[in-house]
Amino acid sequence: MAVDLHYRKIGQGPPILILHGLFGSSDNWLSVAKELQHSYTLYLLDAANHGQSPHTSTFNYTDMVEDVKLFIEKNNLVGAPSIGHSMGGKTIIRLAATYPDIVGKLIVVDISPRFYLRHHDTILEALSAVPINTLSSRTEADSIVSKFIDDIGVRQFLLKNLYRTEAGRFLWRINLPVIRDQIENVGEALPEGSSITLPTLFIRGALSGYIEAKDESIIANHFTNYSIQTVEGASHWVHAEKPQEVVRLIETFLSK
3-state per-residue secondary structure call for 63-90:
HHHHHHHHHHHHCCCCCCCEEEECHHHH
Question: Mean pLDDT across the chain, nearest whole number?
Answer: 97
Rounded CA separation 91/47 (Å): 10
Amino acid, single-letter form, for residue 142: D
Among 128, 123, 172, smallest CA distance to 148 is for 123
pLDDT average, residue stretch 155-168: 95
Q: Is the pLDDT of residue 36 over 90?
A: yes
Which residue among the candidates 53, 86, 112, 208 is catalytic per the annotation?
86
What domains can you pick out in the chain, each with its CATH number?
7-115+188-255 (3.40.50.1820), 121-181 (no CATH)
pLDDT of residue 162: 97
DSSP 254: H
Q: Is the pLDDT of residue 1 over 90?
A: no
Which residues have a Cβ under 8 Å from the Cβ of 168 and sit 6 or more positions away?
A: none
Tens digit of pLDDT for each residue in 221-252?
999 999 999 999 999 999 999 999 999 999 99
Band (pLDDT 50/70/90 cuts) for residue 128 is very high
pTM of the model: 0.96
For residues 225 and 239, what is the distance between their CA atoms, to the nearest angstrom?
23
In this prediction, residue 20 carries a pLDDT of 98
User: What percent of the residues of the chain are helix, what percent strand, and what percent coil, each to the nearest 5?
Assistant: 40, 15, 45
- 243 SS3 class: helix
**How much of the chain exceeds pLDDT 70, in percent?**
100
Q: Which residues contact 37 (CB under 8 A, 6 or more apart)?
A: 10, 11, 12
Q: From the candidates 85, 222, 236, 239, which is the catalytic residue? A: 236
> Taking 90 as the threshold, does the pLDDT of residue 144 lie above it?
yes
Give me the mean pLDDT over the 28-45 stretch.
Answer: 97
Contact 229, 107 (CB under 8 A): no
Report the C-alpha gap between 73 and 17 in whole angstroms: 13
Position 26 confidence tier, pLDDT thresholds 50, 70, 90:
very high
Confidence of residue 180 (pLDDT cuts 50, 70, 90): very high
Whether 137 sits among the annotated catalytic residues: the reply is: no
In the predicted model, is pLDDT for residue 182 greater than 90?
yes
Active site residue 120: no
